[in-house]
């Protein structure tokens, strides 16, 4: 069986287990090959850039004839329309994908983070891949040690920590290929990220009383608040997809709870214009 894997939409949070587990079952793993910018340009009108890139990857894998596509549920089973949940591709990409990529092979939807429930889902899916239950049990035994919750995000770019905190929904923040220009424009100010695990950030976001429900919104809020509490951070950039009005509302709600100035920035904005706004927010006119 040929199973397609995405290289975007938070792969680091679930693939460390699923890759070796599926390989142990004898599946052929198919990964994207076309340039990321082509996937990002997938024609999905009105959809945010992060999800558009994921849809582009799904379309590529379908075109390459995979039998199944492994897709994470980044909301961990939570369904809510408040905040970014107003945008269906954020709330449930698996439900949206067939609307933009007709004729999809079956989607293997798995928890978007490793932890409780991963092994049960693996046993369930494994039975559909490998007819021999003994081989499924053996694959689980060989890979169960890889089921560990994700730690803090470590970006691939190096920049001195400084006056600007950067917080975004994790499916945006961890897809660094979405905002290279903005990153370069803001690096002279020093960019700081929240150096904590996703579960910890979600817990901090929940304590803010914003009534946000989606895990990705709670993580975003928690990261922003954690950054704003640091003495060396003087302002926080809240980055989000401009196509999602629900994310814009969530950004405004988060900004209201921060003890430091906040800059609301969309992925579509001109990086140099954002840098000028950052300079003003930091009092460096």
* pLDDT tens column, 177-229: 999 999 999 999 999 999 999 999 999 999 999 999 999 999 999 999 999 99
- Would you write out the chain's pLDDT as a tens digit for each of its 285 residues? 999 999 999 999 999 999 999 999 999 999 999 999 999 999 999 999 999 999 999 999 999 999 999 999 999 999 999 999 999 999 999 999 999 999 999 999 999 999 989 999 999 999 999 999 999 999 999 999 999 999 999 998 876 778 999 999 999 999 999 999 999 999 999 999 999 999 999 999 999 999 999 999 999 999 999 999 999 999 999 999 999 999 999 999 999 999 999 999 999 999 999 999 999 999 876
Q: What is the pLDDT of residues 110-134, one digit of tens each?
A: 999 999 899 999 999 999 999 999 9
Q: Which two tokens stand for residue 125?
A: 């899916």
Q: Write out the two tokens for 67.
A: 């039998």
Cα-Cα-Cα-Cα dihedral sign, residues 238, 244, 247, 251:
positive
How many CB atoms sit inside 10 A of residue 166's CB? 25
Sign of CA dihedral 202, 207, 210, 213: positive
Closest to 48 (Cα-Cα) out of 168, 164, 150, 154:
168
- Please, how many CA atoms are within 13 Å of residue 165, restricted to the half-sphere of its CB? 28
Burial 262-285, CB ≥16 within 10 A → b, else e: bbbbbbebebeebbebbeebbeee
Q: Which residues pair with residue 29 across a beta bridge?
A: 3
Q: With b meaning 16 or more CB within 10 Å and e meaning fewer, what string describes 72-96? A: bbbbbeeebebbbbbbbbbbebeeb
| Helical pair 15-24 and 118-129, crossing angle rounded to 10 deg | 30
The residue length of the chain stands at: 285
Q: Do residues 166 and 239 lie in contact, with contact meaning Cβ atoms separated by under 8 Å?
A: yes
Domains parsed from the chain with CATH numbers: 2-146 (3.40.50), 164-281 (3.40.50)
């Amino acid at each position: 069986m040929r199973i397609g894997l995405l290289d975007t939409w938070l792969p680091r949070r679930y693939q460390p287990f699923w890759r070796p587990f599926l390989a142990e079952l004898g599946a052929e793993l198919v990964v994207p090959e076309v340039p990321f910018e082509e996937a990002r340009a997938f024609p999905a009108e009105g959809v945010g850039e992060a999800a558009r890139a994921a849809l582009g990857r799904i379309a590529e894998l379908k075109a390459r004839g995979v039998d199944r596509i492994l897709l994470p549920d980044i909301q961990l089973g939570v369904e809510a329309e408040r905040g970014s949940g107003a945008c269906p591709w954020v709330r449930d990409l698996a439900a949206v994908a067939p609307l933009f990529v007709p004729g999809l092979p079956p989607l293997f939807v798995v928890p978007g983070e490793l932890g409780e429930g991963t092994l049960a889902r693996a046993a369930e899916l494994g039975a559909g891949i490998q007819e021999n239950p003994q081989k499924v049990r053996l694959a689980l035994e060989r890979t169960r040690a890889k089921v560990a919750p994700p730690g803090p995000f470590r970006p691939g770019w190096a920049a001195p920590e400084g006056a600007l905190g950067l917080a975004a929904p994790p499916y945006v923040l961890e897809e660094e290929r979405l905002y290279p220009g903005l990153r370069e424009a803001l690096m002279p100010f020093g960019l700081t990220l929240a150096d904590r695990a996703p579960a910890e950030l979600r817990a901090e976001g929940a304590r803010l009383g914003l009534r946000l429900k989606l895990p990705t919104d709670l993580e975003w809020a928690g990261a922003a608040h954690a950054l704003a509490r640091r003495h060396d951070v003087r302002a926080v950039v809240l980055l989000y997809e401009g196509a999602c009005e629900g994310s814009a509302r969530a950004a405004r709600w988060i900004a209201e709870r921060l003890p430091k100035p906040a800059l609301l920035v969309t992925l579509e904005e001109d990086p140099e214009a954002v840098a000028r706004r950052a300079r003003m927010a930091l009092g460096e006119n």
